[in-house]
Amino acid sequence: MTSTLEAVAGGTTPPAAPAPARGRGSRSAPRSRARADRSVVILGTAVAVILLLLIGYPVMSLLSAAFAPDGLAVLASIVTDPVNHRIVLNTLVLGLIVGVLGTIIGFLFAFAQVRIAFRGKRALHLLAMVPIVAPPFAVATAVITLFGRNGAISNGIFGIKGDIYGLSGLVLVLALSFFPVAYMNFKGMLESLDPSLDEAAAGLGASKLKVFFSVTIPMLVPGFAGSFLLLFVESIADLANPLVLGGDYTVLASRAYLAVTGDYNTSAGAAYSLTILVPALLVFLVQRYWVSKRSVVTVTGKPTGRSEQITAPSIRVPILLLVGSISALIVTIYVTVLTGGFMKVPGVNNEFTLDHFRFVLTGIGSKAMIDTATLALIAAPIAGVLGMLIAWLVVRKLRRTSGLLDFVGMLGLAVPGTVLGIGYALSYITPTTIFGVQILPALAGGSAAFSGGIAIVMVYITRSLPSGQRSGIAALNQIHPAIEEASTSLGAGSGTTFRKVTLPLIQSALLTGLTFAFARSMTTLSPIVFLTTPGIKIMTSQILAEVDSGRFGNAFAYCTVLILIVLTLILIINFLVRKVIFRGRTHRR
């Protein structure tokens, strides 16, 4: 074909190909395209069915329960009852404050990491990422030990009987738990900004402080908006910390949990969850629209180099003081988590003991470790590969429905965990039937298949899927489609092309998806608390039980073991995946 094009370009008549070969070629090309089209239809249909089971059916079940008579009564009371007015207001206030504070902390850490000249940047980055691998209420438990009524710092050092329960404690804990989301967002944006903008402003005589407020901050407006919206959704949907630290400050997530587990009224729980779902989805849609419409282009050609490190005291000193103070607080909190398991009564009787770790490493604790790690290891590769497959379909194969598939895949991030957990309990506690024909056995509840383990794996996949999907889309957008088209032109089907060509090219995105999926699965609680059974023990659920019982030593021991398991298995996953990839490269060579 190349010689033919060259001949046409050169103005000569290309030699005619033999008739039989031409006939075979003309028939084989449409046949290859037909096979590829069938593969895309099959893969697309399979993905659509999987997403329907993972998130569509549970959400529809929740909506059905919310609009049942008991649910409608709760929805009406949200409009008319002053108590429910207060709960809704509490939730919104908490979300707004945490969204603002967490975004500011994330920006300060990212700006210090990328733009401020100082030693210890690697340590700062690792410190900012610790909350990602920690259980959701590890910070809350440590804050109670340090700053509660009998806290080691508040009462032990300053003699103050502080009350950390309520809004102030929740804001502190949630901001420190969720700010890594904003940190990673700002870090990526700051690293991609063209430093020539700052240089141009400085060349016109602007001071470092003037450049900071007139150039850098305006360029990061989409990052501020996106980070605030994500943290707002995370904070209003959080269940673990309000249960531990909420006190009399009731929010919608904890009210929904109590409606299901205390009042045994799933319709009421579904109605309260719907009240969380509506603003969460609205914020998610606004954030997607903002990102798609409010783009800031800073790179029009080749970058001019790395940004200059700021040494001006007017910017450097206050930012490092704030970052240093917050870092010291974070270190204090996680040192308390890691050492609390070795104390008889953390903060009260600090005598050394191994009893808490014996409790965790034997009996129920050992079963919880095995069950949690097993289910997370099952869910992680499924979520990673499914995320890559959705990304491939969205970027490469689908046209009209790509946006819809991308949106549905991302709902695992938008739908709050409490909503998802109640939806799964409503959907899969009984066998799933279509027109009276059973297609699935009961997947949730004590009498379900594998004691409800399948439902928990499905939740893990749903919650982890969006990260791998976004990583895959970003990676595929950087790969020229001609590489995959060459495979298709040689007769390979779409499935074969995805497996043998696309996956090796997006291996780093796959590794990111696997790592995040495992860490997220090991530390999630909000949806799991509705699905645990006597036959399946999950570590985060066990930690909550210990905290509720006031056994903080056991809770700290659980947290320490969980963090070590997550870090160890992440290293193993990274090693194995990289080894497989390296072996594949060697064989190809």
Residue 72: other Cβ atoms inside 10 A: 13
Q: What is the dihedral of CA 506, 509, 510, 513, to 10 degrees?
A: -160
Using left for φ > 0, alpha for ψ between -120 and 50, and beta otherwise, residue 51 falls in: alpha
pLDDT confidence of residue 9: 38
Give the residue from 412, 504, 522, 419 showing the smallest Cα distance to 467: 412
- Rounded to an integer, what distance in angstroms lies between the CA atom of residue 319 and that of residue 311? 11
Position with higher pLDDT, 576 vs 171 = 171
**Residues of 396-424 as b/e, b for ≥16 C-beta within 10 angstroms?**
bbbeeebeebbebbbbbbbbbbbbbbbbb
Closest CA to 244 of 135, 99, 343: 135
Is it the case that residue 10 has pLDDT exceeding 50? Answer: no
What 8-state DSSP symbol labels residue 75?
H
CB-facing half-sphere around the CA of 539: CA atoms within 13 A: 37
Domains: count for the chain: 1
Average pLDDT across the chain, whole number: 83
**Residue 585 scores a pLDDT above 60:** no
Name 116's bridge partners. 310
3-state secondary structure 10-67: CCCCCCCCCHHHHHHHHHHHHHHHHHHHHHHHHHHHHHHHHHHHHHHHHHHHHHHHHC
| Cβ atoms of residues 383 and 517 within 8 Å | yes
- DSSP annotation of 452: G
pLDDT tens-digit readout, 191-211: 877 666 666 766 676 766 777
Tens-digit pLDDT profile for residues 240-284: 899 999 989 999 999 999 999 888 899 999 999 999 998 888 888
Q: Binning pLDDT at 50, 70 and 90, where does residue 42 land?
A: confident
pLDDT computed for residue 57 by the predictor: 94
What pLDDT, on a 0 to 100 scale, did the predictor assign at position 305? 54
Question: For residue 449, with 0-12 CB atoms within 10 Å meaning exposed, 13-18 middle and 19 or more buried, which class applies?
Answer: middle
Supply the pLDDT for residue 580. 62
pLDDT score recorded for residue 427: 93
Q: How large is the average pLDDT for residues 393-421?
A: 87
Helices assigned H by DSSP within 116-166: 121-133, 138-147
Q: What are the residues facing 536 on neighbouring strands? A: 533
Q: Of 157-166, 368-377, 570-579, where does the model show the most confidence?
A: 368-377
Strand (E) or helix (H) holding 269: helix 266-293
Asked if residue 19 has pLDDT above 50, the reply is no
Q: What confidence score (pLDDT) does residue 35 get?
A: 55
- In the prediction, which pLDDT does 488 show? 73
Q: Report yes or no on 338 lying in a domain.
A: no
Q: Which residue has the higher pLDDT, 298 or 416?
A: 416
Which carries the bigger pLDDT value, residue 481 or residue 588? Answer: 481
pLDDT (tens digit per residue) in 227-245: 888 899 889 989 989 999 9
Q: 168 or 482: whose pLDDT is higher?
A: 168
| Position 144 confidence tier, pLDDT thresholds 50, 70, 90 | very high
Q: Where is pLDDT greater, at 431 or 483? A: 431
In this model, does residue 93 exceed pLDDT 90? yes
Give the CATH number for residue 316: 1.10.3720.10
Higher pLDDT pick, 292 / 299: 292
Q: What is the DSSP string of 483-539?
A: HHHHHHHTT--HHHHIIIIIHHHTHHHHHHHHHHHHHHHHH--TTGGGT-BTTB--H
The pLDDT score that the predictor gives to residue 588 is 53
Question: Between these two residues, 276 and 26, which has the higher pLDDT value?
Answer: 276
Structure tokens at 562: 């969980």
pLDDT in tens, 55-64: 999 999 999 9
Other CB atoms within a 10 A radius of the CB of residue 481 amount to: 11
Answer yes or no: is 377 within a domain.
Answer: no
Range of the domain at 91: 67-298+309-323
Lowest mean pLDDT among 31-40, 152-161, 208-217, 320-329: 31-40
- Each residue of 102-142: pLDDT tens digit? 999 999 999 999 889 888 899 999 999 888 888 877 899 99
522-561 per-position pLDDT tens digit:
998 889 989 988 889 999 999 999 998 889 999 999 999 9
In a domain, 288, yes or no: yes
**pLDDT in the model for residue 31:** 53
Per-residue model confidence (pLDDT) at position 30: 54
- Greatest mean pLDDT range, 184-198, 313-327, 385-399: 313-327
User: What's the Cα-to-Cα distance from 119 to each of 109, 122, 315, rounded to whole Å?
Assistant: 14, 9, 16
Other beta carbons less than 10 A from residue 78's beta carbon: 17
- Identify the pLDDT of residue 348: 80
Average pLDDT over residues 145-163: 84
The dihedral over CA atoms of 411, 417, 418, 422, expressed in degrees to the nearest 10, equals 70
Asked if the structure places residue 37 within a domain, the reply is no
Query: How far is C-alpha 484 from the chain's CA centre?
Result: 29
**Cα–Cα distance for residue pair 418/240, rounded to 1 Å:** 10
List b or e across 150-175, with b for residues whose CB sees 16 or more CB atoms inside 10 angstroms.
ebbbbbeeeeeebebbebebbbbbbb
Q: Is the pLDDT confidence value at 449 over 90?
A: no
**Confidence band, pLDDT 50/70/90 cuts, at residue 503:** confident
For the record, the structure tokens of 491 come out as: 């007769």
**Is 94 or 365 the better-scoring residue by pLDDT?**
94
Question: Which of the listed ranges 65-79, 201-215, 385-399 does the model predict with the highest average pLDDT?
Answer: 65-79
Q: Is the pLDDT of residue 149 over 70?
A: yes
Domain annotation covers residue 375: no
Question: d(Cα 470, Cα 516) in Å, to the nearest integer?
Answer: 12
As a whole-number percent, the residues of the chain with pLDDT over 90 amount to: 39
In a domain, 315, yes or no: yes
27, part of any domain: no
Burial of 145 (0-12, 13-18, 19+ CB in 10 A): buried
DSSP letter at 310 equals B
Q: What integer pLDDT is reported at residue 480 of this predicted model?
A: 75
**What is the structure's pLDDT at 94?**
96
